Structure 1
Amino acid sequence: MKIHVADGAFDAPVWEPASGHGPGLVLIQEIFGLDEYLKSVAADLAALGYVVAIPELFWRVAPGWSSGHDDAGLAASMDVGSRFDPALGVSDVVATLEHLRARTGRAGLLGFCLGGSLAYEAAMTADPDVTVSFYGSTVPDRITGIDAVTCPIQFHFGGQDPYIPRPAVQRVVDAVADRPNAEIHVQEAAGHAFHNRVAPKFHHPAAAATAWTLTTEFLARTFPPDPA
């Protein structure tokens, strides 16, 4: 689908479940762009019964961006990411959420890495029905805003993440400890982007499997698909 905003328009490809209907999830990209990994996650979520939309966040700086997951691809993506305006990214995520909710009735957020940060930011400023944030690097420094998040929210981090030190993760652990709408899971043996199965540099299969089971159970409990 095409999302129109004040300064232009961007694509948000959609994956539908076999039924053709269900609650919506905005799936938010890593810096690698709309790649095969993200498409496979969208397919996984659609198979669970969700209508999934992926906004193309880098449309202003690198339209159609997708990179490899080796060191060269990471460097190129970091360069593109350095020219990305996070505030505009949040507004694009919120626009996609609103568009998807108009179509499906209910809509939530799920993001990885850059997307994990944007999912949390959007949860503080919009009103998603659910949010899942995987290893968002800005989350620890922004966790004081958790009071603004009213939907069920789940955080995932790696305990060996070189980009998000364990003491920073602990700030999130402490902040959500007594909140009935929030939970956090730390895969202590994993580093950053551990769920990305096409990135050997990052992927931790055991942690990925555990975190994904926790994610799907959380979604089924707090944001269930439509009855068959």
Structure 2
Amino acid sequence: MSERANTAQNTHIPQEAFDWYDEYAHGGMDRRTFMRKLGTLAAVGYSMSMLTTALLPNYALAEQVSFNDEDITASYETFDSPEGHEQGRGYWVRPATSATSYPAVLVIHENRGLNPYVKDVARRLAKAGFLAFAPDALFPLGGYPGNDDEGRAMQRTLDKEKIQHDFVAAAKFLKTHSLSNGKLGAVGFCFGGYMVNYLSAVDSDLLTAGVPFYGTPAPKELRQNIEAPLMVQLGELDERVNNTWPEYEQDLKANKVDYQMFMYKDAHHGFHNDSTSRFDRASADLAWQRTLAFFTEKLS
């Protein structure tokens, strides 16, 4: 395992900087405004270099499982998506064993394409014995471009409904694959967390279990369809997403959904992503242990 990023607590970055980054990363602020706001902190003693290094991802820190790890086999697979962008592509990782089938988990990236952190998450799942598939929503545009700013801009140009159809198609592809045991889990982060909620709601028979990390709920009119057990992972400081939780929980209770929600103290939006200072090692490790145990129980 390579050295990972420090926790947000250890960088002493003011909370407003994280709030500005969250707004910037989700389209509520352009880069020029974001950098200008960071400049106001530089004026009171925080260097721009320290601020940008802390807030922007360094994917060299995110590799926990090497693509050369002898316990896994990694490649790429394409799938048909007739209601989406016609064809999709994703990162395919399986345990390097002779088993004929595995519990399967769809891994869904943030709002910027299939970056190295999310690919590593897929490898972590395969290392733990799961068949993992991480589609890239940006495949119709050539795939993740190598940096988050461009990836985020590219994803915003794509039709949201077609992206959703692509992930439904990817889920069906994985669930029915000859190496799948027919039980499908999904884990996603930010936009990917929303997609886990969406997949659980758009088709009651699609997911066997879902783990949305700091994702907003599916549209309200779909929530009555949710039958898959959910493990909802939230960071205490993530005000934007947390504000959507009370209403979502009411609907889950009303529809008698088997769900758990874990709120991680002092954790930011993105606390599981170990490529930035929002990463919180203790919370991320605990959340991941819970995720693996949940999938082991529900998918085996």
Query: Using the alignment, how far apart are the partners of 2:230 and 2:169 within structure 1?
Result: 20
Between stretches 29-38 and 49-58, larger displacement belongs to 29-38
Query: Using the alignment, how far apart are the partners of 2:237 and 2:146 within structure 1?
Result: 24
Contact kept in structure 2, 1:158 and 1:188, CA below 8 Å: yes
Query: Using the alignment, how far apart are the partners of 1:128 and 1:173 within structure 2?
Result: 19
2:236 alignment partner AA: G
Query: Using the alignment, how far apart are the partners of 1:185 and 1:14 within structure 2?
Result: 29
Q: 1:188 aligns with which of 249, 255, 265?
A: 265
Q: 2:94 aligns with which of 16, 20, 25?
A: 16
Partner in structure 2 of residue 79 of structure 1: 153
Partner in structure 1 of residue 107 of structure 2: 27
SS in 1 for 2:175: helix
Query: Using the alignment, how far apart are the partners of 2:237 and 2:132 within structure 1?
Result: 30
Query: Using the alignment, how far apart are the partners of 1:112 and 1:86 within structure 2?
Result: 17
SS in 2 for 1:216: helix
SS in 2 for 1:163: helix
Partner in structure 2 of residue 156 of structure 1: 233
CA deviation string 1:133-186 (max 9, x = no partner):
1111x31x735643211111111111111532x433333344445745111111
Partner in structure 1 of residue 165 of structure 2: 91
User: Based on CA coordinates, which of the two structures has the bigger radius of gyration?
Assistant: 2
Query: Using the alignment, how far apart are the partners of 2:153 and 2:234 within structure 1?
Result: 24
Contact kept in structure 2, 1:26 and 1:110, CA below 8 Å: yes
SS in 1 for 2:231: strand
State the Cα distance separating 1:10 from its structure 2 match. Answer: 1.9
SS in 2 for 1:11: strand
Q: TM-score normalised to the size of structure 2?
A: 0.65
CA deviation string 1:39-96 (max 9, x = no partner):
1111111112111111111223x3211444xxxx3x4343223223222122111111
Partner in structure 2 of residue 53 of structure 1: 133
| Identity fraction in percent | 22
Query: Using the alignment, how far apart are the partners of 2:263 and 2:221 within structure 1?
Result: 19
**Unpaired stretches in structure 2, ≥5 consecutive residues:** 1-76
Assess, with a 3 A threshold, how the Cα gap between structure 1 residues 216 and 9 changes in structure 2: closer, same or farther: same
CA deviation string 1:8-65 (max 9, x = no partner):
31212210012253021111111232222111111111112111111111223x3211
State the Cα distance separating 1:5 from its structure 2 match. Answer: 2.0
1:79 alignment partner AA: A
SS in 1 for 2:102: coil
Query: Using the alignment, how far apart are the partners of 2:129 and 2:145 within structure 1?
Result: 26
Q: 1:115 aligns with which of 188, 192, 216?
A: 192
2:186 alignment partner AA: L
Q: 2:290 aligns with which of 207, 214, 227?
A: 214
State the Cα distance separating 1:220 from its structure 2 match. Answer: 1.7
Query: Using the alignment, how far apart are the partners of 1:171 and 1:189 within structure 2?
Result: 22
Partner in structure 1 of residue 212 of structure 2: 133
